[in-house]
Amino acid sequence: MSRSFDVIVVGNGVLANATARALTLQEPGIRVAIVGPAARPRAATVAAGAMLGCFGEITTTLLKTEIGRTKVDLAYRATRLWPEWVEGLNAGLAKEDHVTIRNGTYVINNNMSGTIEDANYDAIRRTLAKYEEPFEEIDPGKVPGLDPADDCRPLRALFIPGEGTVDSGALLNAYTASARRSERITLVDDSVVSLRLEGSKLAGVVTASGETLSADKVLLAAGVDTQTVLDQHPDLARRIPRVFPGGGCSIVLESEVAAPAGVIRTPNRAFACGLHAVHRGDKRVYVGATNHVVPRPFEKPVANNVLFLLECALDQLNRAYAYHSAQIVTMNAGNRPVPIDGCPIVGDTSIPGLWILTGTYRDGLHLSPLLAQDLARRMFGKPAQHEVLFKLFKPERRPLALRTREEAVEDAVLHYAAVGYEHGMNIPRVGWHRTFSRMYRNVANSIYDALESDHIMPPEFLPMIDNDREKWVPFFRNYLRELTRA
């Protein structure tokens, strides 16, 4: 027997829950199913620092193209939506389930990762000035909660009072509590394995337990698991940029050291979002995060990632974690949805009634109030506030270009260098930095040559391809050719 709904939302992370809430706020009487395993074994949010950061995520690459600048502008607009969104969510919850925004982000620029961090720090500062966003350049030695080893001390720091964080676990718990209180939302503890089609018409979904759920509208918002569903429908999947896991790990420490009031972070570096420490309680601090584009999702924390984060915490954040015997409260693993062009996948498809919301990489949680409300409007034929989302990031598209090949190669060299420096690489002073750069420039160029495609994949994909060229070069070469044909 099939249960029927007006909308089925596939996935139960922040984007899925936010969109379900937006739909019920907008459409009186609507019945929505949120389908996803309660444990969320591969989700991004469970391991996220949940920084509400537009400016902290700025990079030189983003500012070079209209697409990148559009992403920055959308992130800026999303920041303004959070206070009202959280206030509305809290209004329907018991006090113990409330979500709190902690404002205040310190961006530090240390010398642990090469010149890419310097360039991105400058890009952050320029963009703050452009948007006339309040910020203050401060003495890096006076950042509250920061006490690194002497050889890891930051050279510059700035404070952004309007950016902050929420507790990602508390946010998910709030959405779950809100859904359970709602008469119009049904939580289904299951996984979707495929769409249910009757001819060319969408009829609903089929779950792993064998249940069929019926609806005229389905939203695929399951992060990296969206690709798993799409793979069951290859004719559609071949027209949509493929999504890979951006596997990452984070840890939460507890000690007598006072936690940061909000966020302490570096600029983006080393193929990742930089090092960051985030408040998780008076004596608890979240430390994150690593990022690796990988073939299969992380389901458990990876040992060398956890070791790396511990070393970063003790060296670059606060050496007192060692003096006060900080304890590991939790180790987390999660997977960001990373498309092969690095851009979101948002909107309707050629199957009437089927919508997709994924591919948000590191920005999904921060963008969620904006994406959810605009998508809810569009799903019921109303104009969105930000129509550019549905024009630029539509699911069935050619991969978008954020870099020329030359820019991608140079970005890759800088990221490889940052990875090396963060892991203690020591390059001899005379001439070897040029040898190192030339070596990784050759690595990047040889991969792009082998792919034989006009589409320049983001540098984040190069380490995965380089680790197993025999498998991934023909895979991506063939995939990109098929996508172009489609």
| Least confident segment among 33-42, 242-251, 308-317, 427-436 | 427-436
Beta pairing class for 354-358 and 276-279: unpaired
pLDDT at 430: 61
pLDDT at 28: 86
Reported in sequence order, the residue ranges of 5-133 that DSSP labels E, i.e. its strands, are 7-10, 32-35, 51-52, 102-109
For the chain, the helix, strand and coil percentages under 3-state DSSP, each to the nearest 5: 40, 25, 35
Q: pLDDT for 299-342, tens place per residue?
A: 999 999 999 999 999 999 999 999 888 999 999 999 999 999 99
Long-range contacts of 410-413 (CB under 8 A, 24+ apart): 410/441, 411/61, 411/116, 411/459, 412/440, 412/441, 412/443, 412/444, 412/459, 412/462, 413/437, 413/440, 413/441, 413/444
Higher pLDDT, 1 or 93: 93
Question: Sign of the CA dihedral 364, 365, 367, 371?
Answer: positive
pLDDT at 168: 95
Q: pLDDT for 118-142, tens place per residue?
A: 999 999 999 999 999 999 999 999 9
pLDDT at 216: 96
What is the mean predicted confidence (pLDDT) over 378-385?
96
Cα angle: 248, vertex 249, 254; to 5 degrees = 155
**Measured distance CA(326)–CA(194) in Å, rounded:** 45
> Counting beta carbons within 10 angstroms of the beta carbon of residue 172, is it exposed (0 to 12), middle (13 to 18) or buried (19 or more)?
buried
Model pTM? 0.96
For the chain, how big is the Rg over CA atoms in Å?
22
Q: pLDDT for 233-268, tens place per residue?
A: 999 999 999 999 999 999 999 999 888 999 999 999
